């Protein structure tokens, strides 16, 4: 496997782009077909989840470049299936209704939590499993890949809830059309600087480790972590910076079933 840190970083970038695009294509096709297509797509993706779990477990005690890549890919596979289950509307939450205007903040938060409760529980259960199985293992890169994705996703959801200048609704499928009503479009909130500072600090930590270690497997592993964390940081900034990032995936997607309101941007998978 390539042991150059720049190649590892480019691999992380490609896998992030490809994974996001693949999930969006599957979800768009399921949305166009309607009916039980979302459930079928989610069940058809179970082998990916199984391979991710198997790959993560069998590489925990492995070292070297291949182990770093396999741990990273295994974490992406587990994460990707859970995101697919969410976007197809199979694992979301008990609240499937739009949020009314002018609610008290406590009720708005409860309603917003209800839209994603089962999804959040699934992500937390997966992270606990990954942490319990992998804490103290030789190969830490699958574990920390999932932790970065989990923390960045929680941060992104909270920022969307509190309000940011740019919110994407272009790729939201029919099963989740109630979701944008729980977002706010406003000037950057109090959490945003904390989020970008924390992610920037995490990138710096991974880069420090990258330059401190000397084995090829660790160099590649920390390059992968630095790249995926930097991508999460960029996705946060895209909530406030007006760049047409949706073009990265729009060209590959089939036309939506019906025209939805369109807002620039997309915040990754």
> Out of 49-63, 71-85, 237-251, which region has the weakest mean confidence (pLDDT)?
237-251
264 lies in a domain? no
d(CA 108, CA 200): 30
3-state secondary structure 48-112: HHHHHHHHHHHCCCCCCHHHHHHHHHHHHHHHHHHHHHHHCCCCCCCCCCCCCCCCCHHHHHHHH
Residue 164 has phi, psi (to 5 degrees) of: -140, 160
What is the length of the chain? Answer: 269
Give the structural domain span for 163.
Answer: 5-250
CA neighbours closer than 13 Å in the CB half-sphere of residue 202: 23
Q: What is the pLDDT of residues 160-191, one digit of tens each?
A: 999 999 988 888 998 999 999 999 999 889 99
| pLDDT confidence of residue 168 | 82
The average confidence (pLDDT) of the chain is 91
pLDDT above 80: residue 257: no
100 assigned to some structural domain: yes
Cα atoms found within 13 Å of the Cα of residue 243, Cβ hemisphere only: 12
88-124 residue pLDDT tens: 999 999 999 999 988 899 999 999 999 999 999 999 9
Torsion of Cα atoms, 153 then 155 then 156 then 162, to 10°: 150
CA distances, 264 to each of 14, 72, 106, 254, 261 (Å)? 22, 30, 29, 18, 10
- With 80 as the cut, is the pLDDT of residue 265 above it? no
* pLDDT score of 268: 41
On whether the CB atoms of residues 237 and 193 are closer than 8 A, the answer is no
Angle at which helix 46-58 crosses helix 37-44, to 10 degrees, equals 20
Q: Is residue 262 part of a domain?
A: no
User: Which residues lie closer than 8 Å to 110 by C-beta, 6 or more apart?
Assistant: none
Residue 105 has which token pair?
A: 């903040």
**pLDDT value at residue 1:** 60
Percent of the chain with pLDDT over 70: 95
pLDDT higher at 220 or 1: 220
- For residues 238-248, give the mean pLDDT: 85
The three-point CA angle 142-146-148 to 5° equals: 115
Q: 185 by DSSP, 3-state: which?
A: strand
Judged against a pLDDT cut of 50, whether residue 86 lies above it is answered with yes
Residue 243 has pLDDT above 90, yes or no: no
Give me the number of domains the chain comprises: 1
Residue 260 falls within a domain, yes or no?
A: no
Is it the case that residue 125 has pLDDT exceeding 50?
yes
Mean pLDDT to the nearest integer, 134-150: 96
Q: How far apart are CA 241 and CA 87, in angstroms?
A: 25
Q: Is the pLDDT of residue 267 over 80?
A: no
pLDDT confidence of residue 258 = 59
């Amino acid at each position: 496997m390539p042991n150059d840190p720049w190649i590892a970083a480019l691999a992380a970038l490609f896998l992030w782009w490809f994974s996001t695009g693949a999930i969006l294509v599957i979800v768009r096709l399921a949305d166009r077909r309607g009916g039980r297509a979302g459930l079928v797509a989610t069940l058809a993706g179970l082998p990916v989840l199984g391979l991710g779990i198997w790959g993560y477990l069998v590489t925990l005690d492995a070292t070297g470049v291949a182990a770093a890549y396999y741990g990273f890919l295994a974490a992406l596979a587990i994460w990707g299936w859970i995101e697919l289950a969410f976007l197809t509307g199979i694992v979301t939450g008990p609240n499937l209704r739009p949020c009314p205007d002018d609610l008290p903040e406590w009720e708005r938060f409860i309603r917003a939590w209800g839209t994603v409760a089962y999804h959040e529980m699934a992500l937390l259960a997966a992270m606990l499993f990954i942490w319990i199985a992998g804490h103290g293992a030789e190969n830490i890169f699958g574990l920390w890949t999932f932790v970065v994705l989990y923390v960045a996703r929680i941060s992104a959801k909270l920022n969307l809830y509190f309000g940011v200048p740019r919110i994407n609704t272009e790729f939201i499928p029919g099963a989740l059309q109630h979701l944008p009503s729980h977002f706010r479009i406003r000037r950057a909130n109090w959490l945003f600087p904390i989020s970008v500072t924390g992610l920037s600090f995490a990138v710096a930590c991974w880069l420090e480790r990258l330059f401190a270690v000397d084995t090829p497997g660790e160099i590649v592993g920390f390059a992968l972590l630095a790249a995926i964390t930097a991508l999460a940081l960029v996705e946060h900034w895209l909530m406030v910076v007006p760049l047409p990032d949706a073009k990265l995936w729009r060209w590959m997607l089939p036309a939506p079933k019906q025209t939805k309101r369109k807002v620039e941007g997309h915040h990754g998978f």
